[in-house]
A and B are shown apart, each in its own frame.
Chain A
Amino acid sequence: MNLSFCLVLLAAWGAIGIAGLVRAQSIEYVGRLLFPLGALVGVLLAAAAVAGFALPPEQLVLPLGLPDLPIHLRRDALACVFLLLLGIASAGVSLFAAGYFRKGEGTPPGLLCLQYHWFLAGMGLVLLADDAYSFMIGWETMAIASYFLVVSQHRLPEIRRAGFLYFLMAHLGAVCILLSFGVLQGGGWQLTFDAMRATQLTPSMASLAFLLALTGFGAKAGLVPLHVWLPEAHPAAPSPVSALMSGVMLKTAVYGILRVTFDLIGDLQWWWGLVALALGLFSAFYGVIFAAVQTDMKRLLAWSSIENVGIIFTGFGLTIVFQALGMDAFAALALIATLYHCLNHAVMKSLLFLGTGAVLHATGHRNLGRLGGLIHRMPWVAWLTLVGVLAIAGLPPLNGFVSEWLLLQSFLFTDTVPRPFVNMLLPVGAAVVALCAALSGYVMVKFFGVIFLGQPREAALADAHDANFLQRLGLAWLAAACILLGLLPVQVIGLLDAACSGLLGVTLGQRAGHWWLLAPTPIGAASYGPFAFLAVAALVIGATLWAVSRRYHRRVRRGPAWDCGFVRLDSRMQDTAEGFGQPIRHIFEGFFAMQRELPAPEDMAPRYRVAVGDHIWRYAYEPLGALVSRVADLVAGLQRGRIATYLLFSFVTLLVLLALVL
């Protein structure tokens, strides 16, 4: 029942998309009717997923598509985790999008509505697919719909370029995933996941399947060094789409790698975990230092997504290590941390991207150097975004802290890992995670401080308007999700545990047995109670406020800011985004490809410029691109444009084939 209901909801998304074409130019119809309907479907999907956790896995075969290839579908607890994520995040994003799209910007609204809702439905199909064939249909629907969404401003050349790069990387990834499925079917040519689960692979073939899947899904998730498309494509898309791509689409890749590794392959080898762990840690670090030096607010968030994907893959790698070495209870802890971080990142990154969308609408600027002081003009957006900022910086009692806490707890028991080599390496991982968490606080202070605080850096910012009602509703929905995921970890883990028992065969359980106290660790006593925590903090802050105003007074005078005797203090003297990046550029100099232009002392119009590039792009992608061009030029030699030559080629091919067959 539950599975059919989910399918009906996905079909409803598809139908809403097609309905957008009916009156494609009408903002009223698409914005005020269809997008809110899409949000409602999202809420229902989240509800269906929550109900689905308690039910046993359910399968369905739909006789659609090619004669011998019906569509197999399955809903289990792992799919429910990601359906929940899709439902919650898309509900908020759709509400915001309802108030976001305006006339005369690129693609007409009806067409955007089609692409947007098919994007959502495609992601839903990926989560429910139970054979390689329908999985790839969902995957490609998702990729193509999101490509068109990315290039919705296709008149700008840099957006077309970003779209092309995205499309290319998405397809390289898809090829690897397809090859991985090819290895997994083990020669039986049964493409259902049931058959793949039953296939016993040799260790080397299993490793091959894992590495192909890691490459394919890693490219989609933005794992370094396959991340290059992400900081280009996410900022190019309209903000609600960036929110979905960062918040949800990256998680479908995480879903894919979890499905393939734990469910389809099954027999794990511990070194896979180390590979995933190393890639994850490197991505987390690389992402966060690049986020710190960005000057474009959406690009900053895109790099921060790379960081978070890195943290998710770190948890994933840790899960493999523990599971392969037979430490089941720790594997459960690490997997729960991974899944929890997926949920968290989906809501908080969607919230932040929507916040930048509102700012972009109100001001027309993405460059941090032209913003500032917006907390006075856009209080709703500023305060709701602040929730996301504090959450993603990993501060208690919000949600980002919970998954960070769980991940650090699972690192804590690495000294019981039976291999000395591994247990020496893992604490270094914990150190990197701690460093990245602290750096993300730095990035978020920069992000929020430069956009919303201080003085406006442009005079035009005085006219900035706050978000409209639907946009506020979307932002508030996601902010509420951040707070609830932070306050109710025990309940959320109760749900995630079902996925854990499905994948690993162990559950974390609840050792404390309180609804308000999270105490998941297998040994020792570590516990965290966000409610008690928040209650005491609120009590103390309230009591301080009361005591100070009762005991003394509440008098306030306003005056000009203290200028230290320098009378012409203006908004240009505030720290800029570049200034905020400077300590990071200085400390981690080797990681950036920097080009600096410094003014000479006698310059009448001094100019200072610094451009920060990515070594990986310069030393891996550019040579690779040049190589591909050269090979293409060689192949082009065959294309003479004369029919006789082509007929000759066909004839030779036929001869060769005949020789092979006979």
Chain B
Amino acid sequence: VSTLGILAQALEIIAAVLAAPLLLGWVNQCRAWLQNRSAPSLLQPYRMIRKLFHKDAVLAENASTLFRAAPYVVFGTMVVAAAIIPSMAIRLPLSIAADSIALVGLFATARMFLALAAMDVGTAFGSMGARREMMIGFLAEPALLMVIFLAAMISHTTALGGIAESLSGQQLALYPSAAFTAVAFLLVLLAENARIPVDNPATHLELTMIHEAMLLEYSARHLALMEWAAALKLFNYACIGFALFVPWGLAAEGAGPMGLVASIPVLGLKLLVAGAALALLETVSAKLRVFRASEFLATAFLLAVLGVLVHLLLGA
């Protein structure tokens, strides 16, 4: 492990943590434009986080230590996830300690703590949100795993850096199997990040909400960490998508500091396009009933499995 490697790793973590709310701000801005509203500032998520940090935390009377610890655990796992996803450079020191299966495990850890914390106070909303979140999770997680599984089969490694490296070495030819898994991944991304059509980040209507229902009891710094973690999750998912489907422009192994700097505008461009696309997708689709969400995700899971089978059938 070289000093440069550790520096690159630190840079990637810091960049992800700092840039994540910006991505959220960009998506919100695009969405407002598409809906003919006047858009909030790009920096609005930062302002909200800062405001929350300054407030006094109010805890429910019977909240346990688990409830107070969960925001730190959820935020921490999202940061670790950001450290192992190749968003700028292909080889990072931490990526050997955790491959893509461990990454899925990390997301599961965050989800589990979030759900347990939501059940901790014992209100109707919290436990209902936890149940719905776990329902989304148990369908989305295997779908994501199968998406990764296909990429891992093609590149014979489960390390995300290795996958991105081997896929970016191929010519610009779309695999038929990757087309299936790309759609599956998109569906998983929407569901896991509480976006329309599965959940609506902008509503507090009890019939529709999932993610917000779990956060109802949180306030101040705890809520700030949870919101920041949610922004990081969206950023992480976007970067997983880039590593699997558009892996070009990452700094190669031993590219040095210049390579890393050169990869920043590429990442910025990808995020710009992806954020706008996400806003468009959310604008043109309608919210599903909660029980249709399971069909939505079952479709994702089956598409991913189909992708793997297509790969085995066609060898491509």
- A residues sitting closer than 8 Å to B (CB atoms) are 372-373, 375-376, 386, 390, 393-396, 401, 404-405, 408-409, 411-413, 415, 423-424, 427-428, 430-431, 434-435, 437-439, 441-442, 444-446, 448-450, 453-455, 517, 523-533, 536-537, 540-541, 544-545, 548, 551-553, 555-564, 569, 571, 573-575, 579-580, 582-583, 586-587
Contact = CB atoms under 8 A, between A and B. Distances in A.
B137 A427 contact: no
Contacts of B158: 408-409, 412, 524, 526
B20 interface: no
A435 B301 CA distance: 9
B156 A441 contact: no
Given A372-B122, A563-B123, A574-B119, 6 more contacts: A415-B311, A441-B108, A448-B116, A453-B122, A556-B58, A580-B131
B58 A558 contact: yes
A445 B145 CA distance: 20
A544 B145 CA distance: 29
B106 to A, nearest CB: 7
Given A412-B149, A563-B123, A438 B80 contact: no
Interface string B213-235: 00011000100010000000000
A445 B119 contact: yes
A548 B127 contact: no
Given A396-B102, A412-B149, A427-B309, A574 B124 contact: yes
A93 to B, nearest CB: 26
Interface centre among B56, B108, B134, by most chain A C-beta atoms within 10 angstroms, is: B134
A575 B128 contact: yes
A569 B62 CA distance: 13
A442 B138 contact: yes
Contacts of A376: 62, 64
Interface centre among B58, B75, B76, B304, by most chain A C-beta atoms within 10 angstroms, is: B76
A561 B121 contact: yes
B291 A586 contact: yes
A541 B294 contact: no
Contact of B59 (A523, A545, A557, A587): A557
A656 to B, nearest CB: 60
A367 B135 CA distance: 23
B34 interface: no
A611 B165 CA distance: 53
Interface stretch (B25-33, B92-100, B190-198, B249-257): B92-100
Contact of A544 (B64, B122, B152, B225): B225
A511 to B, nearest CB: 13
Interface in B83-141: 83, 94, 96-99, 101-102, 105-106, 108-109, 111-112, 115-116, 119-125, 127-128, 130-132, 134-135, 137-139, 141
Contacts of B132: 583
A454 B153 contact: no
B146 interface: yes
Question: 5 shortest A-B CB distances, which residue pairs?
Answer: A454-B122, A575-B127, A529-B97, A532-B97, A541-B76
Given A427-B308, A434-B145, A528-B97, A559 B58 contact: yes
Contacts of A537: 76-77, 80
Nearest to A448: B116
B73 to A, nearest CB: 6
A442 to B, nearest CB: 5
B61 A560 contact: yes
A35 B98 CA distance: 42
Interface of B: 53-54, 56-62, 64, 66, 72-73, 75-77, 79-80, 83, 94, 96-99, 101-102, 105-106, 108-109, 111-112, 115-116, 119-125, 127-128, 130-132, 134-135, 137-139, 141-142, 145-146, 149, 152-153, 155-159, 162, 206, 216-217, 221, 225, 291, 294, 298, 301, 304-305, 308-309, 311-313
A573 B226 CA distance: 25
Given A393-B108, A536-B83, A551-B53, A442 B59 contact: no
Contacts of B57: 555-557
B138 A393 contact: no
26 contacts: A372-B122, A393-B108, A396-B102, A401-B102, A424-B312, A437-B142, A444-B112, A445-B115, A445-B116, A445-B119, A517-B97, A524-B158, A524-B162, A526-B159, A537-B76, A540-B79, A541-B73, A541-B76, A544-B75, A548-B221, A553-B56, A557-B56, A560-B61, A574-B123, A579-B131, A586-B291
A571 B123 CA distance: 8
Contacts of A562: 60, 123, 216-217
A450 B66 CA distance: 14
B149 A526 contact: no
Contacts of A532: 94, 97-98
Contacts of B79: 540, 544
Contact of A424 (B54, B97, B138, B313): B313
Given A395-B109, A431-B305, A528-B99, A439 B138 contact: yes
A552 B55 CA distance: 9
Contacts of A573: 123-124
Contacts of A548: 53, 221, 225
B143 to A, nearest CB: 8
Interface centre among B56, B73, B102, B206, by most chain A C-beta atoms within 10 angstroms, is: B102
Given A525-B162, A544-B225, A412 B53 contact: no
A441 B138 CA distance: 8
B122 A373 contact: yes
Nearest to A563: B123
B294 A587 contact: yes
Contacts of B139: 438
Nearest to B103: A396
Given A373-B122, A412-B153, A434-B145, A583 B96 contact: no
A390 B309 CA distance: 32
A561 B59 CA distance: 8
Contacts of A563: 123
B109 A396 contact: yes
Nearest to B308: A427
Contacts of B124: 569, 573-575
B59 A455 contact: no
A559 B59 contact: yes
Nearest to B216: A562
B108 A438 contact: yes
Contact of B60 (A404, A555, A559): A559
Contacts of B313: 424
B152 A412 contact: yes
Contact of B80 (A424, A525, A540): A540
Contacts of B97: 517, 527-533, 536
Nearest to A557: B58
Interface centre among A386, A537, A555, by most chain B C-beta atoms within 10 angstroms, is: A537
A582 B64 CA distance: 27
Given A412-B158, A415-B153, A541 B109 contact: no
A573 B131 CA distance: 14
B142 A431 contact: yes
A540 B76 CA distance: 6
B149 A427 contact: yes
A327 to B, nearest CB: 15
Interface centre among A386, A533, A571, by most chain B C-beta atoms within 10 angstroms, is: A533
A544 B141 contact: no
B138 A544 contact: no
Nearest to B72: A541
B61 A558 contact: yes
B126 to A, nearest CB: 8
B224 to A, nearest CB: 8
A401 B112 CA distance: 14
Contacts of A423: 312
B121 A454 contact: yes
A524 B118 CA distance: 40
Contact of A556 (B56, B157, B311): B56
A620 B121 CA distance: 44
Contacts of A587: 135, 294, 298
Given A395-B108, A544-B72, A545-B72, A427 B98 contact: no
